[in-house]
Structures are given as structure tokens and as C-alpha cells.
């Protein structure tokens, strides 16, 4: 049986996937998010970075569909998503490992100058691609910037994204990234 905290983390990650709020994770959510980030970061949809991001999102989406879509309708409901987590401990760890690829791809798309770090405006662009209000990005930035230097490196980015799935309370860095959404 899942704990309340595990259910909160599962629901938080489900909400990131169910971008249109339809109650299910579907291919249109993947396209909307991946291409939204590409556009908001000013990247050409045919660029190597954009192609890598779309491929990473599609890989993780395929994994979720294969593992959780019990009725095989190409949509994973919140309950199917929870059931997959509960039925298979490896599902959560494998999902987290695959998220690392998505994190790296998002970072590469947003790091337009290639200096290996993201400033506030880069993060605002990512959030815009997620159709998340600018103020949420501004408020969430300090939770991403672990060393407080005003920039986020790839390691800080990955740790924060992992925290979305593994937060031990609502004030934890990952959970606080999207507070107010």
C-alpha cells in the first residue's frame, strides 16, 4: 500500500504529465510540453537539442504507456499511473532514471549559450513552455539554485526535477518548484 506521501509525489508527477488536465497522460500532452519548451526557449524545432528533447519525452511516454496503460487505449489515467507505482517498485525507479534523460534534454534546450548554466530568464522560458505563470518560475528559482550563485547547473537542475518525484514534504525543493500551479 502506498503512503500518503508516495501518493502526493505520484500525483505531482502525474500532473506534470497530464498537461491539458484531461485526467489522462496521452501523446498530445507529450507534444504540447516538448514542443512548447522548444518554442519558448527560442530553439528551431529541427535543431539537435529539440530533436533530443522530443525523443526523450517520447521514450518516457512509451515506457509509461507500456507499464501502466492496462486497457491499452494509449491514455494512462491517474489510477493506472498510481497502480503501476504500487504494483511494481521498479516502475518508479526506472521512471526516475528516464526522467534524467528528459532533464538533460530540457537543460540543453534552455542553455542557448552553452555555458552549462541557466539563469532566471532561461528557467522562465522553460516554465513558459510548460504554460506555467512567470511568477511560479520566479518563486521557484531559489529552490532550483542549490548553491545560491544565481545560476542553475545541470546537477542542480536534475536534483530539483528528481525532487518532484521524491520530495519528503511539500516544502522540499522539488515539490516547491511548481508551488501555486
* Topology (CATH level 3) of domain 4-175: Recoverin; domain 1 (1.10.238)
**31 contacts 20 by C-beta, under 8 angstroms:** no
At 123-134, the pLDDT tens digits run 999 999 988 889
Average pLDDT over residues 90-115: 93
Average pLDDT over all residues of the chain: 88
Q: Give the DSSP letter of residue 81.
A: H
Q: What is the pLDDT of residue 178?
A: 53
Amino acid at each position: 500500500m502506498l503512503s500518503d506521501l508516495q501518493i502526493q509525489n505520484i500525483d505531482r508527477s502525474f500532473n506534470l504529465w497530464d498537461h491539458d488536465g484531461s485526467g489522462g497522460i496521452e501523446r498530445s500532452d507529450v507534444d504540447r510540453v516538448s514542443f512548447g519548451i522548444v518554442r519558448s526557449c527560442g530553439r528551431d524545432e529541427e535543431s539537435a537539442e529539440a530533436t533530443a528533447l522530443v525523443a526523450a519525452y517520447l521514450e518516457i511516454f512509451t515506457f509509461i504507456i507500456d507499464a501502466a496503460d492496462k486497457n491499452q487505449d494509449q491514455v494512462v489515467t491517474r489510477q493506472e499511473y498510481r497502480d503501476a507505482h504500487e504494483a511494481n517498485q521498479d516502475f518508479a525507479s526506472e521512471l526516475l532514471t528516464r526522467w534524467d534523460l528528459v532533464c538533460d534534454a530540457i537543460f540543453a534546450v534552455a542553455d542557448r549559450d552553452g555555458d552549462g548554466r541557466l539563469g532566471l530568464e532561461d528557467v522562465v522560458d522553460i516554465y513558459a513552455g510548460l504554460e506555467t505563470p512567470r511568477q511560479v518560475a520566479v518563486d521557484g528559482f531559489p529552490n532550483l539554485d542549490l548553491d545560491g550563485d544565481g545560476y542553475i547547473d545541470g546537477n542542480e537542475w536534475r536534483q530539483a526535477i528528481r525532487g518532484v518525484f521524491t520530495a519528503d514534504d511539500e516544502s522540499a525543493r522539488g515539490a516547491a518548484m511548481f508551488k501555486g500551479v
